[in-house]
Amino acid sequence: MSLTIDKDDYIIVRHRKKPTLCFVLNAKSCRAVIEKTLQTDEPEHITYELEDVLCNVGPNPLDGKIYGCDVMPYKRTIETKKFGPILIFRDMEPKELKALQAAMKSVYAMYEKQASVDFLPLYQIHLCPKKGKYAGSYHAKLKVGEAFDIMKLHPDTFSDPIYNEYLIAHEFAHGLWFRCVPLNLRVRWMNLYQKRLKLSSVNEQHLADLCHEVVRYEGTLRDYMKEVAEDEEKLVIKEVLNYFKRYHVMSSDDIDLMLAHDSGKLADMWPTRAMLSETRPDISQYSLKNVEEFFAEAISYHFSGRILPKDVQKGIKATFLACRK
């Protein structure tokens, strides 16, 4: 049975040996444009062969992944002078869009008054369907000395004005970090971040004793962690698992298999030292992911009026002063 294809359908075509999402311009002449190039200045047109069409997902496909191909059709672009072009890849109610635009204007005013908006306009802002556990991301990129930064927003909804402001302030902070914050102040933020991490060394005897107990235990290493190990020892076991994964390319199942059939060899491979990192999240747990997220969380919390540690407040004050110069 032949596949029916109409104008304005989205199809997945085998193009250059890869499944590619395309938008049909003329079904009779088999002309289409590669969907991811629709929003560019020079969309890439192709003429496809019917035998290369893997499937037709229709004129209004649901977001997802088909044949390993991301399906997230481009809807339209809103041109703005302050922020750059806003590319929409999701269905949005007018109220949602209005709430987002109001939040962007509000956050812009805060940055303009207190810090800097020199990182704006961005190359592109993408409004995407919900994907993964995070609501946004910032991609900093330079081409021939020019910034081509892209901010992607993908929360469940844009209907919450308070969350909109937090999200935008957080992502704008990445732009401030990459384009406006001097290097000496980045180092200051690194030191603030490191203050909230505590590294401790696990000595060789501790690890040897743990190995002895694990070998004696009648069960898997994960069972030992669940049923026997105390909280502090669980952290050590996680580091042991990471060690085997990193240096011996062994999964937890591989470790359990060797534990059951050749525990002596496993003991010979057991690490003799490990480092534990304990965190002190006084802003948010996510702020301890890395120094950039620590900075972005601090800035977004500041603009939302939340109380911050004094050393972070001083860091923000110094940063804003430097960015305004």
Give me the mean pLDDT over the 148-162 stretch.
Answer: 95
Over 80: is that where the pLDDT of 280 sits?
A: no
Q: Give residue 218's pLDDT.
A: 85
Q: Give residue 101's pLDDT.
A: 96
Give me the mean pLDDT over the 158-163 stretch.
Answer: 95
Q: What is the 3-state secondary structure (H, E, C) of 312-323?
A: HHHHHHHHHHHH
Give me the mean pLDDT over the 297-313 stretch.
Answer: 96
Q: Give residue 1's pLDDT.
A: 53
Give me the mean pLDDT over the 288-310 stretch.
Answer: 95
Residues near 160 by Cβ (< 8 Å), separated by ≥ 6?
Answer: 99
* Tally of residues, the chain: 325
Give me the mean pLDDT over the 175-181 stretch.
Answer: 96
Over 70: is that where the pLDDT of 140 sits?
A: yes
Paired sense of beta strands 197-202 and 45-47, if any: unpaired
Over 90: is that where the pLDDT of 127 sits?
A: yes
Give me the mean pLDDT over the 144-156 stretch.
Answer: 89
Report DSSP state, residue 128: -
Over 60: is that where the pLDDT of 150 sits?
A: yes
**Residue 160: other Cβ atoms inside 10 A:** 15
Q: Which amino acid is located at 42 in the chain?
A: E
Q: Give residue 142's pLDDT.
A: 81
pLDDT digits (tens, 9 = 90+) for 232-241: 788 888 889 9
Please provide the average confidence, as pLDDT, over all residues in the chain. 92
Beta-carbon-side half-sphere exposure of residue 314 (alpha carbons within 13 Å): 6
Q: What percent of the chain clears pLDDT 90, i.e. is strictly above it?
A: 71
Residue 119 — φ and ψ, nearest 5°?
-80, -10
92: tokens are: 């949005």
Residues near 16 by Cβ (< 8 Å), separated by ≥ 6?
Answer: none
Question: How far is 315 from 186, CA to CA, in rounded Å?
Answer: 10
Paired sense of beta strands 136-139 and 124-127, if any: unpaired
Paired sense of beta strands 64-66 and 53-58, if any: unpaired
Question: How far is 322 from 242, CA to CA, in rounded Å?
Answer: 41
pLDDT digits (tens, 9 = 90+) for 190-214: 999 999 887 778 888 989 999 999 9
Continuous segment of H or E residues that includes residue 201: strand 197-202
Q: Give residue 222's pLDDT.
A: 85
User: Any alpha helices (H) in 151-203, and if so which ranges?
Assistant: 161-179, 183-195
Give me the mean pLDDT over the 38-50 stretch.
Answer: 91
Using DSSP, state whether 70 is helix, strand or coil.
strand
